[in-house]
Structure formats: C-alpha cells, structure tokens
Structure 1
Amino acid sequence: MTGAPSPGLGCVGAPRLLAGLDRMPRLDRTAHLGVHGQLPQLGPDELIALAEDIELRGRGGAGFPFARKLRAVSRSARARDGSTAVVVNGSEGEPSCLKDTALLLHAPHLVLDGALLSAAALGAEDVVVAVTRTDVEQSVREAVAERGPAGRRVRVVRLPERFVTGEGTALVSGLNGGAALPSGQKVRTSERGLNGVPTLLSNTETFAQLAVAARLGAAQYRTAGLASEPGTVLLTVAGSTVVETPTGTSLAYVLDLCGTEPGQGVLVGGFHGRWLDPASARASEVSRKSLAAFDAVLGAGAVLPLPQDTCPAGEVARVTRWMAKESAGQCGPCVRGLPALADVLEDAVRGGGAAALDAVRTRMAVVRGRGACSHPDGTSSFVASALAAFPEEFRDHALGSGCGRRVLGALPLPEDENPERLVVDWTLCKGHGLCVDILPDVVRLDADGYPAEASMPVPGRLRPKALRAVRRCPALALRIRE
C-alpha cells in the first residue's frame, strides 16, 4: 500500500474528526487551530476521568478501555523510575482499513494533540508516531515541523509495511531497533514498551478522539452516538472511503451513503473479522453491542460489502493466500499451516471435491490456537466465517460446477511489487491457446496464435487460474516462477 491513493472521505451528520476537510484537503497547524481551537491541558486524574466519562476504547481492533491503559502506565511508572513513553500506532498493515491513513494525511495535528496531551499528563518525554507509508510519513513530519519547538519531542519512525507490524509487541520491537514481528509473549506495553519503559500505546483514531473530547468536554462529546457507546467512529467502506459516523447509525445507511449495498454479504472487522449475511447487515447498527448480536466485531472499522457480480469463494481464497504470505515466519502454524490452508482452499475452489472441503476444515483446526501470535487464529476464523456464510458457493465450486463469476478483487489487496510470473517454454509450446481461454487478463496471443510474451506477471487474485492453466497446457509448456 505504499504510495497508494488517499481514501475518499464521507460523514454521517456533523463531522468531528474530519471537521474542516470539506473545505481544504489537509489541515496545517493554522487551519487546524481555526477549526478545532486551542487544546486545553489536563492533569493525569483529569485525563483519566475524561476517558472514563466518554467510555473511550481503543479504535485499533481490541477495543481496550483507554482509561485503564492510562492508569496502568501511570502505576507502572510510579513503581519504577518514573519514565514513560507514548506511541501512536499508525502502521495500519491491513489493506481493507485506511482510517488512520486518512487522519494522518488530512488531519495529523488532531492525532498529535491527543498524543502530546497524554504525554504531558504522564510526564512522558518520548512521543513516537509509527507509520509505514511514505506519504503518511511526510505528512506527519510536516505537521511536527509546523509545531516548531513544541514538536521536537515527537519522533516519526517508518516501519516495514506488513499485516503483523501493527501488533503491539511487533511495533515496539521495530521501534526498539529489532524486527517488527510479534514476540509470541504476553508482554504489556504499559509495563515494558519503548526502550523498556512503561508505554501508552494506542492507534491513531484513539488519540484523535481524545483530542476532540478534551476540547468538547465529556457532556458535549456524549451528545453524538449511543449513550452506551458515545461519540463517532471512523469506518473504511469497500477499502476506499473513510466515513465518520455516530455510533448507532444503521450499517445499511452507511453503505448506501457510499453508493453500495450489502450485496452477497458484508465482511466486518477486516481480514480477521466476520461475515454478515445481507439480512443481518441490513439489521445491524454501527456499535459493539449490535454487531455482537450477530457474532461480529467492528475491529479496526473495516466494512467490506461483497458485490453480486464477484465470486465469493475465489475472493476468500485470494485473501487467504495473501494472509499466508503475511506470516510472521516464527512458528509452524504460520510458516507451514497458513500456506497449507491456502493450498487446500484453492484446491476446493478449483473443484477438488468434497474431500478438499474436508481438508480445509482439517487445516483450520490444525493452526487454530497454536500460533505465537493471533495471525493463524484470525486467518482460520476468516475462512471459517466464509464457509458458514457461503456454504452453497464453496460446495458448488468443490463439486466442479462453480458459480460462473470472475474474481473482481472486491476484497482489497495491495498490488504485488514482485508478482509471480507465468513463464512459457518456447521449446514445448505448440500454440494450443488454452492458456488465453483460462487467463484472458494475463495472456495475449500474437498473430500466429502463440503467447505474445514469454513471461507475464500474475496478480495474486489470478493465481488459482494460473495454476489451472499450467495443469491444462497440453504441451506442458507453462510454469509459475516466483
């Protein structure tokens, strides 16, 4: 996603986090103060009370109460030498989620306000914003420079862009100079984080919400959203549009605002999330309680409707393969289990029979609960949810009839920088042309009926078809090369 386009922006009701962005594409320091006003200073007890009064929870996926994090860091600091740090997690390694990217590109000062407000209350000298995109890094660095001397305590660090980079221990390890990979240990950053000191770590939107609440006060903040879940949330719809909406808004209304509908179903919570069938998607609201009734979670706010004209089984297999490639490479369930799960799932989608679907369920059971981090569990749960949501689709594919629809890439994935390639062995090729029938988006024929190129890039979503073309070539003239 490095260098990917900036997401579109939308709003249900009056914007808070996205205020002012209808008039200008980015709020510099002067514009930011004109829209939001000066930031009040709050002591530790005042900040904790505010977070409790508005029931602020982390917006990165886990939904952990922010006030408890503040208390834990403060308590750990008192038990040690008093040093603390604040880390803003802006890594956002999942291509289906762009809300933190939107904030850091368009309203970076709101995020910095929340981080610096927390740092002042905790007495933290070190404030770090962790990012993975070059354009986001540039935007945050410009915002830090616009603050003059007050911004000198803020560091911006760019980490590798991977799905697992945003996991807490992975992020801290990367910031401490190690590999940005999960440690496999249950280490609380509130006890030992950046440079070994108690660290307040939360995602971009959480700090932005805190900055808004500090200006509005708890009572005014609670005028938007549900009484049990006050305020607004940011959603990334269809991997392209970031929408700010009060909690309690109909999910179907948000989709309609973005020019789409539930289609065949809606994946909520991203690639570690759950599928809602169309009826459930229309009945649900944007809230933790409403989604829990459908065994779903909002997570980091990704909402992915699946259009009627794409193949659900192919879309799920495509994402599973990408998730396997995003392995942290530290344990067997990730290194071997996830690629094996992707293999058997692709086999089922290609018509491997009922045994292939049984193999998918076996592979899911093998990786579940055995990983060093949550990635194997999350990936297997994504597949399990898809099998439950689209049972007839997977059955028809496994038995060979399929659905007749192409895979359109409705579930967003980054473009491969070094995609696999379909390679032609000219000493064997006889110009049968079956390859172009199977892969019209990859193979072009020349005037003589032979492939026009000897080496053709294969997008990840078309890998199953490329494998089929290799197997069906009568002359055995094709192969896939990394």
Structure 2
Amino acid sequence: MELPEARWLEAARLTAGLDRHQRLDLAAHHRVHPPLPRPGRDGLLALAEAVGLAGRGGAGFPFARKARATLAAVDRTGLPPVIVVNGAEGEPASAKDKVLLARAPHLVLDGACLAAAAFGAEEIVVGVTAGSPGEISVPAALAERELPCPARTLCVPERFVSGESGALIRAVNGLPAIPAPLKARAAGGGKGGVRRRPTLLSNAETLAQLAVAARLGPDAYAAVGTADEPGTVLLTVNRPGADPLVVEVPAGTRLGPVLHACGVQPGAGVLVGGYHGAWLPPSDALDAPLSRAGLADLGGTLGAGAVVTLPDDTCPLGETARVAAWLAAESAGQCGPCKRGLPVAADALAALAAGAAEPAVLEDIRRALGAARSGGACSHPDGTARFLLTALDVFVEDVDAHLSGAGCGRPVQGLLPLPPVKGTRLEVDRSRCTGHGLCAVLAPDLIRLGPHGYPTSTGIPVAPWQEHDARRAVNQCPALAVRLRHRA
C-alpha cells in the first residue's frame, strides 16, 4: 500500500525526519528525536494539562481528564489499566494515523509507553486496520524496543465504524468491531473496558503529541499554535486527480495557505473533518483557522483532520450522494437512525442528484437527518447528518438546479475518496421486475418503492447486518428479479 507524502509548514515535529527516511526504525528515531524524559504519574498529568492535549481522532476530548478518570477507576478497583492506541483509521479521506504508524511508529509508541509506565499499565494494545502498513510496521517496532509491559497489535476490519472507540474496545475483547449498542466509558472499566479493566484509549496522533510534549516541555511545545490550542495538527489534504498529502501545521493556521502550499483550489466547497465533518463555502474556507475553536465558530469541526475540496467541474450533489450511500451501508445497524434514517436520506439525496425528486425531498432529507442527529446509539448518525446537511447548505444553488429537473449539467467524477467496492450488493434487474413489491416488505431497510411500485434503486450496498433480509428478498422474489453480488 503506497503511503501519502508527508510535509510540514513552519514546524516539523510529528513529521521530523520523514523527508530523509521512508520509515524511522529505532536507530533512526533516536537520531531524529532527543532522549525521552520519564515523568511519573503526576508529572505526566500535569504536562498533558499544561499543553491542553486533546484527542486527535475526532472527538477532541481532553487527554488529562480521560487519564484522571482511568486512574480514579484504578484506585477504586485495584485493577491495573490497559492502554489502547487507536490507529484503526476507517475514514477514507484521512491517512495521518496510517502514516504515523507506518513511518514513525516509535513516536506513537513513545507516548503509549509513557502512559503505561506512569500509570502502571498491565498491557498496551495497538489497533490497526487489517491490510494497512501498520499491520507490519507496528509489530516490527514493538520487537525493537524495551517495553514497560506486554504489548501487542490488533487488526480490525477496514470499515468506517471500526475506528470508533467502543468498536475497538469490543474488538480487543474478541467481539465484532462495531460500536456497542449501549454506551459505556472505557475509563471506568466494567463493560466499557478491556477485560473489564480501566482502559485509557487514545488516538495514535494524540500519543505521538504526548511524546513530543514530553521532549519539548510545555513552553517550547506552545511556541507554535494558539494560546488555547498550542502545538501542531496533522492534516490529510486530498487533491483532485493526485495523491493526498499528510501535512503538519501549527494549530490555528489559516486553511487558505495550506491549500495553496498543496496546490489545491477551494473550488465549489471545502470539506473539513472528513465524512463526519462539515462543508464550508470557499469564502469561509480560505480564512478558516485550523483549530477546534476556530472551526466551531464557522459551524465546522476539525474532526480527524481530513480536508477535501471539490472542483467546479464535478456535480457536488452526485459526489455527496455517493458518499451518503457508502456511509449508510457502513453503519452498525443497531439503532433506528442507522437502520432507517441514513438509508432514507441517502436514497432521497440520490434521487435529488439524478433530477428525479419532488420539491418535498429536501424536507424528507432534513427530517430523516434531524432524527439521526438526536437518536443514534453512536456518533455515526450524527456525524453523517452534519456532513449531508452542510452539503445541502453550501451547494444550495446546485440543489435548486436539480430540483428544477434540469440539473447542474456536470458529470459525477467520483472525486470524493471512497475505498474500492467490496462486500455485497443487492441488484434489481428492471427487465424482470414486475412490481410485486414483496422485496420491500422482506427487506425494508434496503429496498424502497417508487410511486409506481418499483424499487427506486437497482444497485444497493448491503451491510453485514442486512444480509439476512437481502437473502430473503432474493429467495422469494416471484419474478427472479433480485440477486446478490459479492465483491472481494
């Protein structure tokens, strides 16, 4: 798997040495980075609080607060904690954690080992996506170094929800890598932790930042960034027609200069935060500060640091509809918003993009996504709703053009990154279909009927939790018009 090029603006901290080394083994790591201090429990907590270290996986939760909650559970139960490194990056538009684990694995392991030593951990578990470079790089790095406790690598399936914190904890416990149906905090142990132990779970970049802060100290660490969010952030800048770039920039840097340095134009709109992020109009995007607070003021989110632009020569609604269908199929299917809300919104958006929707379709989409934002069992419905609702707002002129039936006149070039088509699809042969409608009764989460009683879609992604109903629809179709197709 070819990894994106790594660059930096102003300060190379996480990316230090990557201009000279394809991968930093332990010897190269020691040449690039100074010796690592070993603060104790209180010192490490004080350091994390002094630099305002927050999670870099999307949620932005303060590291010190999470660590204190974990240690409170340790003191209460007498059980040693488990350190879990979340490098299971299921976001197609993001590659920053893959680059860290593949090219600078010891920087991530430095942070994990600091926490393990300071907090008396029982084990370190590094979660990576199956088939990613980290599957080879991380075990090799673990074998090179002294560790404060046993450590291992865990591979999880390449799915969008596999990187959700609860999904990764379940995978470590030997369960399917999907979000838990009932939320439970990992820090408290019990049902939410690894083997019911207090568990400190942090994103790969977060722990790499902890290692950088330990080496620099609070004052030097805060020499770049903003007063409230010191340090740097890692971005994945996706470039239309070219490979993405992983770029390290000081927090608070304006997005415009970053796009310019990467040779990217804002085009019709800029997505910040990936497919759980928000679209920004070009006028706002260029001056948008790359910090959690700065983007929140614009209605956006830094999320996983993925940045995607759409050029003016592709249909933005068609591009968004492709991703909406993929996100709907990537859900865990454990709650109403995922089972019904996201598929309904994805179908309606596809109809809008095709110029085959009634004016009421916008209300249908907003209603479905509004319910998704408030009632999901995990963050997937809420993040997907933000992605789709902001697209409707930013591309409002295109929405109007497609509602008129004429459309925007631009093709869908498939520029928003998605993984190769895999898994199972339910296909409807319209030459055979006679409109019995039985398929929609047997598989209501997959097949919806149009005004004349025929399925509205002919190729439908099937999530694992939907396969039983899909097979029923295939087996009982009187016209033999429905079939399943598998792609490895």
Is structure 2 residue 25 aligned with structure 1 residue 28? yes
Q: 1:136 aligns with which of 114, 134, 137?
A: 134
Say if 1:187 and 1:426 are closer, same or farther in 2 by CA, change over 3 A. closer
Q: CA deviation at 1:132?
A: 0.9
Contact 1:353–1:400, Cα closer than 8 Å, also in 2: no
Indicate the residue corresponding to 2:173 in structure 1: 176
Are positions 1:157 and 2:154 aligned together? yes
CA separation of 1:152 and 1:289: change in aligned 2, threshold 3 A: closer
Q: Does 1:372 align with 2:365?
A: no
2:317 to 297, 302, 313: 313
Q: C-alpha separation between the residues in 1 aligned to 2:223 and 2:350?
A: 49
1:80 shift after superposition: 0.8
Task: Map 1:60-139 onto structure 2 (within 5 A).
Answer: 60-134=57-131, 135-139=133-137
The 8 Å contact of residues 84 and 200 in structure 2, kept in 1 or not, is answered as yes
Asked if the contact 1:62–1:299 (Cα under 8 Å) also holds between the matched residues in 2, the reply is yes
* Partners of 2:424 and 2:307 in 1: CA distance: 27
Distance in 1 separating the partners of 2:483 and 2:96: 36
CA distance in 1, matches of 2:397, 2:338: 28
Tell me the distance in 1 between the aligned counterparts of 2:79 and 2:211. 24
Residue 444 of structure 1 corresponds to: none
- 2: distance between equivalents of 1:459 and 1:358? 23
- For 1:64 and 1:316, how far apart are their aligned partners in 2? 28
Q: TM-score, normalised by structure 2?
A: 0.84
Amino acid at match of 2:319: E
1:291 matched to 2:295: yes
* Equivalent residue number for residue 7 of structure 2: 10
Question: Residue type of the partner of 2:358?
Answer: G
Distance 1:331-1:13 versus aligned 2 partners, 3 A rule: same
Instruction: Give the letter for the 2:84 counterpart.
Output: V
- SS in structure 1 of the partner of residue 7 of structure 2: strand
Change (3 A) 1:178 1:480: closer
Counterpart in 2 of 1:468?
Answer: none
Distance in 1 of aligned mates of 2:366 and 2:102: 41
Distance in 2, Cα, partners of 1:331 & 1:208: 34
Structure 1: 5+ residue runs without aligned partners? Answer: 429-456, 461-477
CA separation of 1:131 and 1:50: change in aligned 2, threshold 3 A: same
Q: Structure 2 vs 1, CA of residues 425 and 166 (structure 1 numbering), >3 Å: closer, same or farther?
A: closer
CA contact (8 A) 1:44 1:121 kept: yes
**3-state DSSP class of the match of 1:50?**
helix
Counting only pairs closer than 5 Å after superposition, residues 260-275 of structure 1 correspond to structure 2 as 260-275=264-279
Cα distance, 1:285 vs structure 2: 1.4
Unpaired segments of 5 or more residues in structure 2? 434-457, 462-480
Write the deviation string for residues 274-297 of structure 1: whole angstroms up to 9, x where unpaired.
Answer: 111111011211112221221111
Change (3 A) 1:421 1:336: closer
- Tell me, in whole angstroms, the C-alpha distance in 1 between the residues paired with 2:395 and 2:209: 37
State the Cα distance separating 1:249 from its structure 2 match.
Answer: 1.3
Indicate if the aligned counterparts of 1:140 and 1:156 stay in contact, CA closer than 8 A: yes
Report 1:452-463 matches (<5 A). none
Q: How many angstroms does 1:183 deviate by?
A: 1.4
- Residues in 1 aligned to 2:103 and 2:148: alpha-carbon distance in whole angstroms: 18
Question: Following the alignment from structure 1 to structure 2, what is the Cα–Cα distance between the partners of residues 426 and 354?
Answer: 29
Amino acid at match of 1:257: A
Secondary structure of the residue that 1:39 maps to in structure 2? coil
Q: Counterpart in 2 of 1:395?
A: 400
% same residue: 51
> For 2:122 and 2:362, how far apart are their aligned partners in 1?
54
Q: Cα RMSD between the aligned structures?
A: 2.4
Indicate the SS of the match to 2:407.
coil
Structure 1 residue 130, shift from structure 2 partner: 0.4
- How far the C-alpha of 1:318 sits from its partner, in A, is 0.6
Contact 2:11 2:250 in 1 (8 A): no
Distance 1:425 1:371, change over 3 A: closer
**Pairing of 1:271-350 with structure 2 (within 5 A):** 271-350=275-354
Question: Residue in 2 aligned with 1:413?
Answer: 418
Separation of aligned partners in 2, 1:405 and 1:419: 29
Q: 2-side partners of 1:426 and 1:337: how far apart?
A: 29
Q: 1:427 to 1:129 in 2, by over 3 A?
A: closer
**8 Å CA contact retained: 2:267, 2:310:** yes
The one-letter code sitting in structure 2 at the alignment partner of 1:141 is P
Q: Which residue type is aligned with residue 391 of structure 2?
A: A
Check whether the contact 1:144–1:152 (CA below 8 A) recurs between aligned residues.
no
In the TM superposition, residue 178 of structure 1 has moved relative to its aligned partner by 0.8
Q: Do the aligned partners of 1:85 and 1:199 also contact (CA within 8 Å) in 2?
A: yes
Indicate how the Cα distance of structure 1 residues 48 and 179 shifts in structure 2: closer, same or farther if over 3 A, else same: same
Distance 2:337 2:228 in 1: 38
- Per-residue CA deviations over 1:59-80 (Å, capped at 9, x if unaligned) read 1111111111121111110111
Q: Distance in 1 between matches of 2:424 and 2:418?
A: 13
Partner residue of 1:357 out of 358, 362, 374: 362
In structure 2, the CA distance between the partners of 1:158 and 1:286, relative to structure 1 (3 Å rule), is: same
Measure the CA separation in 1 of the matches of 2:412 and 2:483. 20
Deviation digits for residues 84-104 of structure 1 (CA, Å, limit 9, x no counterpart): 110000001110111101100
1:197 aligns with 2:194: no
For the pair 1:227 / 2:216, whether they are aligned, the reply is: no
Letter of the structure 1 residue corresponding to residue 136 of structure 2: Q
Q: Which residue of the partner structure matches residue 382 of structure 1?
A: 387
Q: 2:127 corresponds to which letter in structure 1?
A: A
- Secondary structure of residue in 1 paired with 2:375: coil
Give 1:255's aligned amino acid. L
**296-305 or 331-340, which deviates more:** 331-340
Cα deviations by residue, 1:336-362 (Å, 9 ceiling, x for unpaired): 221121111111111213132332223
Judged with a 3 Å threshold, the aligned counterparts in structure 2 of structure 1 residues 71 and 366 are, in CA distance, closer, same or farther, namely closer
From the superposition, tell whether residues 354 and 206 of structure 1 become closer, same or farther in structure 2 (CA, over 3 Å).
Answer: same
Q: Which amino acid aligns with 1:408?
A: Q
Partner secondary structure for residue 45 of structure 1: helix
Distance between the aligned counterparts of 1:424 and 1:70, measured in 2? 55
The match for 1:146 among 144, 153, 157 is 144
- Contact 1:354/1:395 (8 A) holds in 2: no
Provide the rounded CA distance (Å) in 1 between the counterparts of 2:414 and 2:257. Answer: 24
Retained in 1: the 8 A contact 2:54–2:62?
Answer: yes
Query: Could you tell me whether the CA contact under 8 Å between 2:122 and 2:149 is conserved in 1?
Result: no
